Each structure stands twice: as C-alpha cells, then as structure tokens.
Amino acid sequence: MRLLLDTVTFIWAYDAPVRLSGPAMSALANPKAAREISALSFSEIAIKQALGKLTFLKRDVLDGVADLRLRVLPYTAEHALHLFDLPPHHSDPFDRQIIAQALAEDIPVVTADRVFGLYAGLKIIW
C-alpha cells in the first residue's frame, strides 16, 4: 500500500510524532506501506521557511526523508492536469496540488486537514 504524507504530517511525523493520530501512526508504521512525500512539500517548506512562517530547515527535510524512509513523488503534468477537475474547496495551492497528485496516483493522503475530505474519491488516513 502507498501512502502520501501531506506537508504538515511530514513535519509532525519527523519533529513531533505525538501530534499524529493513532490510525496515522499505525499506517506509517506498517512495514508493507510505501511512504511517500510530494516534491511539492519541499517547495512549500522552503517558501514558508523563507517567509518566516516555519522553522524547518533544508537539513530537517533531508533528515526527515531519510529517517522516515520516504520516497519522493515527483510532480508531473498529469498531476497538474487533475487541478482542472478539482472543486475550489481548498484555497491553499500546495494542498490543492497534493490532492490532485493523490487523485491522479490513486493513493491515500495521511493528513489532519479536514478540508481534504471534501474531495470526492480522495482517500484520507487520519
């Protein structure tokens, strides 16, 4: 089973795992799960860090990916084209792109963001 961590879930899983729900922890601990992070999450973290909204450094990203044994899921044109079909439930452009990516790949997203649940066909683990 593949799992796509949203950006906040990635940060929490690395920096504050006590913030994760029981089902999220179980899913991430499953040895058969392929844990993935979108390349977009790196952009989101870098931008928010540069704006002073986040104190999560490049080194934290690299260490988090290694420690959590994550695969990086590239963002493709196919993923971007799914944005055309998304209703405007979520205003955050990074979250919308991660939602489109998860729908295109047909993989669940591990997220505490309740707005993700408004998207038909999107599987959520929390």
The residue segments making up the domain with residue 113 are 2-125
**What are the residue ranges of helices labelled H in 1-126?**
7-15, 22-29, 39-50, 58-67, 77-81, 93-105
User: Which among 90, 121, 86 is positioned nearest to 106, based on CA atoms?
Assistant: 121
The reported pLDDT for the residue numbered 28 is 97
The tens digit of pLDDT for each residue in 39-56 reads 999 999 999 999 999 999
The CATH number of the domain where 21 resides is what?
3.40.50.1010
Work out how many domains the chain is built from and give that number: 1
pLDDT digit of tens for each residue in the chain (126 aa)? 999 999 999 999 999 999 999 999 999 999 999 999 999 999 999 999 999 999 999 999 999 999 999 999 999 999 999 999 999 999 999 999 999 999 999 999 999 999 999 999 999 999
Q: Is the pTM of this model over 0.75?
A: yes
